[in-house]
Every structure is written in C-alpha cells, then in structure tokens.
Amino acid sequence: MKKPALPDEEGECHRDGLFIRVYFGDGRHVGPGMIDLLEHVRAERSILSAAKKMGMSYRRAWLLVDEVDRMFAERVVITHPGRRGHGTELTAFGERLIALYRDIEAHSAEATVEAVGELRATLAPRAADTDDGDASSGTDAGPPPASSRPPAVRPAPAPRRRAR
C-alpha cells in the first residue's frame, strides 16, 4: 500500500511515512525505488517507457532492472529484445517480490503509526508555516530558528591524494 507524496505550499511533493529498504546482509538490498521501477515496468511493459514515466534515464533503469533480476535465484523480469514496445514482462516471482515488499511496508507502517505520529507532532513549524514570527503575541514561539542554533559539528574531510 503506497502512500502518495504530499504537496507542500510550493507544490513540491514529499514522501510521507516510512522509507523501507530491505538489506540482505551481503551488500544487496531492495528498496522503494526498485519496487517503483518494477511496478512501472509492469504497467508499461517496457523499461524505456517506465524510465520516462519516472524521469529516469533508460540506462539507469536498465541497470536497476538487471541488478534486481540477477539478485535472486529466480528471474524477476523477462525481456524480449527486438520488440517495438511491450518487450518486458514481470515473472510470477517479480509479481511476488512486489507483493512481499508492499506487505513489509504496510506491516511496518501499521506497527509504527503511533511512534511516527508522536514524532510528527513534535516537529518544529517550518518558516513558511509560522505567522509573522512576532514573539510578543504571548504564545509559545517554539524552538529558536535554525540561524540561532549552534552549527552542526562535521568531521574534517580526509586529505585528497594526488594522482600520479
């Protein structure tokens, strides 16, 4: 069950809820981007069309599809080279992969709804969400603006080696 991205005041969409990535302990993983791509491939029956719908380059989409297809013992997609459009199909395992991932996502969201709600309730107001910023109104002004907070401490970058 995919949650839609929520538009802000400027019309930009942002994710809402959990971002689940399943790591398999050997460096391989499956996350929302791969699953979204597989869902688009299923709908379009084409890697190129899926890439265009997602605003992704064909090369990037092809590499991701190839990566997920090689990741599992069973094939995830079947391609039919030379077909003009509709040359890619999900296998039964590809459909199962999407279903399993979406099930993990739904159960995780359900299990964390209270904690995520508590975190959301403690968010500081965004600058665009506040009135005129007048603290004399007698109400709690909330946390100090980011400009008055101490800067985050970041480690110094590692020295670069010169190419020979």
Sketch out the chain's domains with CATH numbers: 6-114 (1.10.10.10)
d(CA 82, CA 64) in angstroms, rounded, equals 20
Residue 138: the pLDDT is: 47
d(CA 101, CA 23) in angstroms, rounded, equals 12
d(CA 43, CA 129) in angstroms, rounded, equals 38
d(CA 9, CA 7) in angstroms, rounded, equals 7
- 22: which residues sit within 8 A by CB, 6+ positions away? 29, 30, 31, 101, 104
| Residues with pLDDT less than 70, the chain | 1-9, 13, 83, 85, 128-164
Residue 18: the pLDDT is: 85
Output the average pLDDT for the chain.
82
Residue 126: the pLDDT is: 82
Residue 1: the pLDDT is: 44
- 101: which residues sit within 8 A by CB, 6+ positions away? 20, 22, 30, 35
Residue 26: the pLDDT is: 96
